[in-house]
């Protein structure tokens, strides 16, 4: 039995989470006293996975798979699991991975645990620590089935270098039919997405109006960050819904989260408190966000943010 | 069109999360329960299909009798009838199997759910249900149009959106965008009165086996106090982020 990891690519390149799930899969395989096999689809450079402990890489090269299809992909992962006699499949928590996971679990008659944040606390029974109640707590879940699927929460394990001498095998699975047809994909290129970003700069109602987002975008630019916003900001149409973060929006699990003019309501915090370091800029010393933050500045965003942009540019210039 | 909307009964988003019985159970003391926020988007879209395209709308919940007020609220918003599967929803796979029975028995051809429930955040029931029934499935759905048997669906992807098409039967897991926040409905007096008379059928479970079980809970560790930096000294913030937090 081996552990099977699914490492996602985007236009031939590995997502950062691909290295994280590989690092994680390698450690779980060690815990179980077995090896790790990493499956990837249309990767330009599958050997990059050796750095994170992938002893064996199954690479599927097929132009028909350029566009993601959850049902087709889940079926390919199932075929790989059967071929490698894997009883444990590990995926990341990107949009595509969590889309295909439930289908995969049914295909394999597997128990499925999402939002996993650490190595199994026990392998028999197989027990996992997971985020729950929208990040307000954790639970420990036992998977009682023979086959298991787990999805690792973003940025919860990190990249662990563990260079091995691996090998790549071409894998040619059967492709099933799916009743769903993709008719178009609109994707902003060249912009960091909230899902992939190491740094996220987020603005709230304290910024008064959409016309004031120039400085938020500039600050994000200097950080190399994605931009985000609180719920009312997207409800008011100041920013697109895709930027809404929090309990009912996107979760954020970046290394750094900078909140400008956001009060820190419980629903907002729930979605962002998986970020490692939080900085808050707010005029109100009583804003609840200060209780959840690591660093705080009490001050007017319209004065603090331009200064921060200027100083950060200097810092970047000196540390380039 | 026969629509089934899956309704999860969850603590209000402002609830303080506590546990009892040696951290093995969620403490529901003093907790207000609501329709899962993601399911509200699905229900509101279903109401649109009812009003504009003559669909029927049934709401369903897998849960014990305490979830009935939440189902009544969905009826007050405008669903035609409700079904409660009388089982503890302890595991996503088991819930999906119960719902699959309801879909088969009721002949539903469109199932609308939320992309996850805000309590256990599993994100598994709609996808599993689709796989069990072999229906088309779209996750993170932010737009849905139906014409005859043909559906056009938008889904959110990392950094954009994808448009898909499929024939019915179909299951979608929705979120904001499926309808706008301002379109969400609050039950009015007339709706609440009518909801009392609408049918709420209780069905017994098929007792599907669970694939997972939660052993215990743990709260987030308390945080160290926030370090305050003077607004006139943003250099200090940059220094801290670089040297101490090591994030830049
Ligand atoms: C069911 C439900 C789900 C929800 N889900 C979410 C969610 O997912 N995400 C989310 O964000 N919210 C969510 N909310 C809303 C949440 O309760 C808050 O209303 C919201 O987060 C507040 O947004 P805000 O901080 O931008 O605005 P406000 O609460 O209005 O705060 C604005 C802040 O800006 C500060 N400020 C004002 N002027 C300045 C200035 N010049 N410089 C610096 N600071 C300034 C103020 O001191 C204040 O703290 C949800 C609510 C409900 C009921």
Q: How confident is the model at residue A188 (pLDDT cuts 50, 70, 90)?
A: confident
Show residues of chain A in contact with B215, CB under 8 Å.
127, 139-142
Domain ranges, ordered by start, for chain A = 2-179, 199-318
Q: How confident is the model at residue B208 (pLDDT cuts 50, 70, 90)?
A: confident
Show residues of chain B in contact with A242, CB under 8 Å.
156, 160
Q: How confident is the model at residue B207 (pLDDT cuts 50, 70, 90)?
A: confident
Using the mean position of ligand 1's atoms as its centre, give its distance from the Cα of residue A208 in Å: 12
CA separation for the pair A51, A161 (Å, rounded): 6
Residue A172 has pLDDT above 90, yes or no: yes
Residue B221: per-residue pLDDT: 87
User: Which B residues 49-88 touch A at CB under 8 Å?
Assistant: none
**What confidence tens digit (pLDDT) does each residue in B9-42 have?**
999 999 999 999 999 999 999 999 999 999 999 9
- Is the CB of residue A90 less than 8 Å from the CB of residue A24? yes
Q: How confident is the model at residue A253 (pLDDT cuts 50, 70, 90)?
A: very high
A199-318: CATH architecture: 3-Layer(aba) Sandwich (3.40)
Residue A187 has pLDDT above 90, yes or no: no
Fold matches, A2-179 and A199-318? yes
Q: How confident is the model at residue A320 (pLDDT cuts 50, 70, 90)?
A: confident
Q: List, in order of start, the domains of chain B with CATH numbers.
A: 2-221 (3.40.50.620)
Contact status of B157 with chain A (Cβ, < 8 Å) = yes
Residue B81 has pLDDT above 90, yes or no: yes
Whether the CB of B37 sits within 6 Å of ligand 1: yes
Q: For all residues of chain A together, what is the average pLDDT?
A: 96
**What confidence tens digit (pLDDT) does each residue in A44-84 have?**
999 999 999 999 999 999 999 999 999 999 999 999 999 99
- Is the CB of residue B12 less than 8 Å from the CB of residue B33? yes
Show residues of chain A in contact with B247, CB under 8 Å.
198-199, 255-256, 276-277
Atom 30 (ligand 1) nearest CA = A205
Residue B240: per-residue pLDDT: 98
Whether the CB of B13 sits within 6 Å of ligand 1: yes
Whether the CB of A278 sits within 6 Å of ligand 1: no
Q: Average of pLDDT values for A185-209?
A: 92
Question: Class of the A2-179 domain?
Answer: alpha beta
Percent of chain A topping pLDDT 90: 96
With 0-12 / 13-18 / 19 or more C-beta atoms within 10 angstroms meaning exposed / middle / buried, residue A85 is exposed
Whether the CB of A296 sits within 6 Å of ligand 1: no
Q: Average of pLDDT values for A272-280?
A: 96
Q: For all residues of chain B together, what is the average pLDDT?
A: 96
* Strand partners for B84: B61, B202
Three-class SS string for A270-298? HHHCCCCEEEEEECCCCCCHHHHCCEEEE
| Angle between helical axes of A95-107 and A70-83 (0-180°, round to 10) | 60
**What confidence tens digit (pLDDT) does each residue in B121-157 have?**
999 999 999 999 999 999 999 999 999 999 999 999 9
Show residues of chain B in contact with A266, CB under 8 Å.
13-14
Residue B159 has pLDDT above 90, yes or no: no
Please answer yes or no on whether A112 and B126 come within 8 Å at the CB atom: no
Residue B72 has pLDDT above 80, yes or no: yes
Q: How far is A166 from chain B (nearest CA, A)?
A: 30
Residue A224 has pLDDT above 80, yes or no: yes
Residue B85: per-residue pLDDT: 98
Three-state SS at B145: strand
Instruction: Count Cβ–Cβ pairs < 8 Å, chain A vs chain B.
Output: 264
In sequence order, the 6+-apart residues with CB closer than 8 A to the CB of B105 are: none
**What confidence tens digit (pLDDT) does each residue in A87-137 have?**
999 999 999 999 999 999 999 999 999 999 999 999 999 999 999 998 899
Q: How confident is the model at residue A36 (pLDDT cuts 50, 70, 90)?
A: very high
Q: Average of pLDDT values for A198-209?
A: 98
- With a cut of 0.90, is the ipTM above it? yes
Please answer yes or no on whether B212 and A113 come within 8 Å at the CB atom: yes
Residue A189 has pLDDT above 80, yes or no: no
CA separation for the pair B186, A309 (Å, rounded): 43
């Amino acid at each position: 039995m081996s552990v099977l990891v699914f490492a996602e690519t985007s236009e031939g390149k590995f997502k950062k989470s691909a290295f994280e799930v590989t690092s994680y899969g390698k450690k779980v395989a060690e815990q179980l006293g077995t090896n790790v096999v990493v499956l990837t689809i249309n990767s330009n450079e599958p050997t990059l996975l050796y750095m994170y402990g992938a002893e064996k890489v199954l690479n599927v090269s097929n132009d028909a798979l350029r566009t993601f299809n959850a049902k087709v992909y889940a079926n390919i992962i199932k075929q790989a699991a059967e071929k490698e006699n894997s009883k444990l499949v590990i995926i990341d928590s990107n949009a595509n991975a969590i889309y295909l996971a439930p289908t995969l679990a049914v295909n394999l008659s597997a128990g499925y645990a999402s939002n996993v944040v650490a190595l199994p606390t026990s392998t028999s029974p197989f027990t996992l620590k997971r985020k729950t109640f929208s990040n307000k707590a954790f639970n420990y879940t036992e998977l009682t089935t023979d086959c298991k699927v787990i999805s690792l929460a973003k940025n919860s394990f990190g990249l662990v270098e563990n260079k091995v001498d691996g090998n790549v095998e071409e894998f040619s699975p059967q492709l099933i039919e799916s009743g769903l047809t993709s008719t178009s994909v609109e994707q902003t290129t060249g912009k960091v997405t909230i899902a992939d970003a190491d740094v996220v700069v987020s603005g709230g109602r304290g910024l008064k109006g959409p016309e004031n987002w120039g400085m938020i975008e500039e600050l994000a630019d200097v950080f190399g960050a994605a931009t985000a916003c609180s719920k009312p900001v997207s409800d008011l149409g100041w920013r697109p819904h895709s930027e809404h973060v929090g309990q009912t929006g996107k979760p954020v699990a970046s290394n750094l989260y900078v909140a400008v003019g956001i009060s820190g309501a419980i629903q907002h915090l729930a979605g962002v408190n998986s970020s490692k370091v939080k900085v808050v800029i707010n005029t109100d010393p009583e804003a609840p966000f200060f209780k959840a933050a690591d660093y705080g500045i009490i001050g007017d965003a319209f004065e603090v943010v331009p200064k921060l942009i200027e100083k950060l540019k200097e810092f970047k210039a000196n540390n380039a | 069109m026969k629509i089934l909307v899956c309704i999860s009964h969850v603590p209000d988003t402002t609830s303080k999360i506590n546990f009892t019985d040696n951290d093995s159970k969620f403490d529901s003391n003093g907790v207000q329960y609501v329709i899962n926020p993601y399911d509200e988007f699905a229900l509101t879209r279903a109401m649109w299909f009812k009003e504009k395209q003559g669909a029927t709308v049934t709401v369903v919940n897998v849960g014990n009798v305490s979830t009935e007020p939440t189902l009544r609220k969905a009826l007050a918003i405008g669903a035609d009838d409700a079904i409660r599967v009388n089982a503890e929803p302890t595991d996503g796979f088991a819930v999906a199997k119960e719902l699959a029975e309801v879909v088969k028995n009721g002949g539903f051809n469109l199932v609308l759910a939320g992309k996850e429930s805000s309590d256990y955040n599993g994100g598994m029931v709609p996808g599993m249900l689709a796989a069990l029934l072999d229906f088309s499935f779209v996750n993170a759905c932010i737009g849905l149009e139906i014409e005859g048997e043909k559906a056009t669906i938008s889904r959110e992807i990392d950094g954009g959106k994808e448009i898909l098409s499929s024939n019915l039967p179909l299951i979608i897991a929705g979120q904001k965008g499926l309808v706008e926040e301002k379109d969400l409905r609050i039950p009015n007096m007339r709706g609440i009165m009518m909801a009392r008379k609408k049918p709420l059928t209780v069905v017994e479970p098929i007792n599907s086996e669970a694939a997972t079980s939660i052993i215990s809970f743990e709260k987030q560790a308390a945080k160290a106090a926030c370090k305050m930096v003077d607004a006139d000294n943003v250099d200090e913030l940059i220094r801290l982020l670089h040297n101490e937090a090591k994030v830049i």
